[in-house]
Amino acid sequence: MSLAARQLTPEETSSSGVAAAMPTATVVAFPSAPPPIGAKLRALVAFAAERLLPPAIVLFVIGTIWQLACSQPGASLPPPSQILNDSWELITNPFYDRGGLDKGLFWHILASLKRVAIGYAIAAVTGVALGTLIGQSRLAMRGLDPLFQVLRTVPPLAWLPLSLAAFRDGQPSAVFVIFITSVWPIIINTAVGIRNIPEDYRNVARVLRLNPLEYFVKIMIPAASPYIFSGLRIGIGLSWLAIVAAEMLIGGVGIGFFIWDAWNSSLIGDIIVALVYVGIVGFCLDRLVVTIANAITHGTAGN
C-alpha cells in the first residue's frame, strides 16, 4: 500500500495536530546545535550522585564501623585493611592457576557456574514441561501437586547423601542437587501461569483452530511466560544458594569448596573475598534471567 493512499485516522491527525500547534521551533533548535559537553558531563555527574553515591556512602560507613570494631587486639574477624593486605593476590588476580586446587577465584567460580548451568538447564526444561502438564490437566495436578508440595520443602542438602548414593560421584550429585533445588518454583509458577491463561485466548485459538502444538507455541508459552520467568528467576537464585553448600561437601574445584578450604586453612580474609564474589555472581545471574525475560516478553514480565 502506498503512502499516498494511506488515510490519516483521527488518532494520527490529532497527535500530529497537537505537535504542530505547540511552539516547537525553539525546542527543536537546541539539539541541532553542537551537543554541549558540559551538559552531558553534568547529566553523568547527576546520575552518579543519584544512583552511585548513596550505596558508596553506605559501603564506606559499614567499612569504617567494621574496621573500628575489628581493629582491637583479640578480634575474631579481620578488619578490611587486613583482608586487603592478606588476600591481595586473590583480589587482584582471579586468573592464576598453579595446578590442583590452587587457582584464582575465576576458575572456582567458573567450575561452580558450569555445574549450575547443567543442573539449572535440566531443571528449566523439566520444570516447564511438568508445569505445563499440571497446569493443563486437572488429573495430573491432582496426582502430582501434593507430591510436589511436600518434596519442594525438602532442603537442598538433604538430597545430597541420596544422590551420592545413587550416582557414586560428586560431580553428578552436585548437578542433581542444583536440579532438585531449582525445579520446584519453575514447575509451580509454570502451572499457575498456564492455569491463568485467559479464556479469551483459548477462544481465539479455538476460532482459529490452532492445533495442540500451535496452541502450545503461540498461545500457551507466551501467555504464561511472565509466570514462567518469575519461576526461572527464583530457580536461578536457589541454585546459586545450593551450589555453595553442595560443593563444600563434595570437594574439588568450585567456589563452595574454596570457602571450606579457606576455613580449614584459617584464611578468613579469603572467605570474605569469596563471599563478595559469590554475591556479585548471584546478582549477575538474577539480572541475566531478568534481561532475557524482558527481551522475550517485551517487558510484560516486569521485574
Task: Give 157 or 296: the residue with its C-beta nearer to other proteins.
Answer: 296
For other proteins, the closer CB: 156 or 231: 231
Distance CA 239, CA 24 (A): 54
For the window 158-197, what string marks contact with other proteins as x by the rule CB under 8 A? ----------------------------------------
Binding of residue 9 to other proteins (CB under 8 A):
yes
Helix axes 221-250 and 255-264, enclosed angle (nearest 10): 30
Told to check if 212 binds other proteins by CB under 8 A, we report no
Q: How far is the CB of 149 from other proteins (least distance, A)?
A: 27
Q: In the set 154, 208, 280, 284, which binds other proteins (CB under 8 A)?
A: 208
Residue 50 touches other proteins, criterion: CB under 8 A: no
- When asked if residue 223 is in the footprint of other proteins (CB under 8 A), the reply is yes
Q: Is 138 in the site for other proteins (CB under 8 A)?
A: no
The CA-CA-CA angle for residues 179, 181, 187, to 5°, reads 80
Write out the DSSP string of 182-219.
HHHHHHHHHHHHHHTS-HHHHHHHHHHT--HHHIIIII
The answer to whether residue 11 forms part of the interface with other proteins (CB under 8 A) is yes
| Shortest Cβ 118–other proteins spacing (Å) | 30
Q: How far is the CB of 234 from other proteins (least distance, A)?
A: 22
Round to whole Å and give the CA distance between 145 and 236.
Answer: 22
- Considering the complex, state which of residue 54 and residue 299 has its C-beta at the smaller distance from other proteins: 299
- Closest C-alpha to 116, from 238, 299, 293, 298: 238
Detail the DSSP E strand segments found in 93-162.
Answer: none
If one counts every other C-beta atom within 10 angstroms of the C-beta of residue 10, the result is 8
The residue to which cell 553542537 is assigned: 34
Which residues ranging from 269 to 298 are in contact with other proteins (CB under 8 A)? Answer: 297-298
CA distance 200 to 267: 61
| Region near other proteins per CB under 8 A, out of 4-12, 54-62, 104-112, 269-277 | 4-12
**Residue 210 binds other proteins (CB under 8 A):** yes
Helix (H) or strand (E) segment spanning residue 292 = helix 268-297
Q: Is 4 in the site for other proteins (CB under 8 A)?
A: no
The least distance separating other proteins from the CB of residue 9, rounded to whole angstroms, comes to 4
Among 143, 206, 275, 302, the residue binding other proteins under the rule CB under 8 A is 206
- Is position 216 an interface residue for other proteins (rule: CB under 8 A)? no
Secondary structure, 3-state, 223-257: HHHHHHHHHHHHHHHHHHHHHHHHHHHHCCCCHHH
Query: Rule CB under 8 A: is residue 2 a binding residue for other proteins?
Result: no
Q: Output 101 or 210, the one with its CB closest to other proteins.
A: 210
Residue 116 and residue 179: Cα distance in Å, rounded? Answer: 8
Q: In 3D, which of 303, 167, 169, 159 has the Cα closest to residue 245?
A: 159
Residues 6+ apart with CB under 8 A from 229: 289, 290, 292, 293, 296, 297, 301
Binding stretches for other proteins (CB under 8 A)? 1, 6-12, 198, 200-201, 203-204, 206-210, 214, 218-219, 222-223, 225, 297-298, 300
